[in-house]
Chains A and B, each alone.
Chain A
């Protein structure tokens, strides 16, 4: 049903849990994938596992020049970028009163500004092709807020507003822009939580468990597919019922 044969996808943060699963899902559906991240070794490992139709394009998303160069590098490797998945993200958690300008700026730069730049960078090709899919990975905390994550929640909420605005502008050109907002997913990022924190979180999840990276990847695959051509400006919440919004 979700066939991506002949489509070329750029996935940022592909060395992480969710990004890796997204890349695998798109690849399995037939897409050629460009795996991006800061660390080359895990990207190479994933590319080898995927085999054919997998490229590695490293980039530090905190570096504006590297971000600008990324869509070009991906297009050179694959021929075009038809699907962009802005998944890369960092956290610099701190209580609001203690949060430094630097912690704020770093999180906004990587999680929001780099996504803006990458969207801008891939649009030209998508407009010409009259087809494109942009999926931005948000977060439940962008909608609900979370203590200690003022910066992260601001960036993730910002992605939603950005995506909707861009969705308006390019809808007539066959390009959709959507967000997937994961709840608590088993990854390295949530692995840092202690048992007490995990227990408190689980008590708030109707499904009674954390989600898997594959469950996020499935949502991305849907939005990236031709089947989702009439879905744009939407945020698909995948959170086990933790926030029914």
Chain B
């Protein structure tokens, strides 16, 4: 697993308090990992800080799963 994916996973595990095994490529933050809409905003904020990037609102809306997040961040850093 790439370094970016590891860092994203760490943030998700810490923020949502879920087991690492549950954070799979296709795991949806809301449907599978128990996030509410505010959690997803906070996750995006945490990603922005961890990777020093800006994630615009329209892009943030497309980040639904762990895989989406990793893919977006790989393209942005």
Contact = CB atoms under 8 A, between A and B. Distances in A.
| A and B assemble together | yes
Contact of B45 (A128, A169, A170, A172): A128
B54 to A, nearest CB: 13
A173 interface: yes
B34 to A, nearest CB: 13
B46 to A, nearest CB: 9
Contacts of B45: 124, 127-128
Contacts of A172: 38
B42 interface: yes
Interface in A191-214: none
B75 to A, nearest CB: 24
Contact of B38 (A124, A128, A170): A170
A120 to B, nearest CB: 12
A128 B15 CA distance: 11
B40 to A, nearest CB: 12
Contacts of A169: 38
Contacts of A128: 45
A172 B38 CA distance: 10
9 contacts: A124-B45, A127-B38, A127-B42, A127-B45, A128-B45, A169-B38, A170-B38, A172-B38, A173-B38
Given A127-B42, A169-B38, 7 more contacts: A124-B45, A127-B38, A127-B45, A128-B45, A170-B38, A172-B38, A173-B38
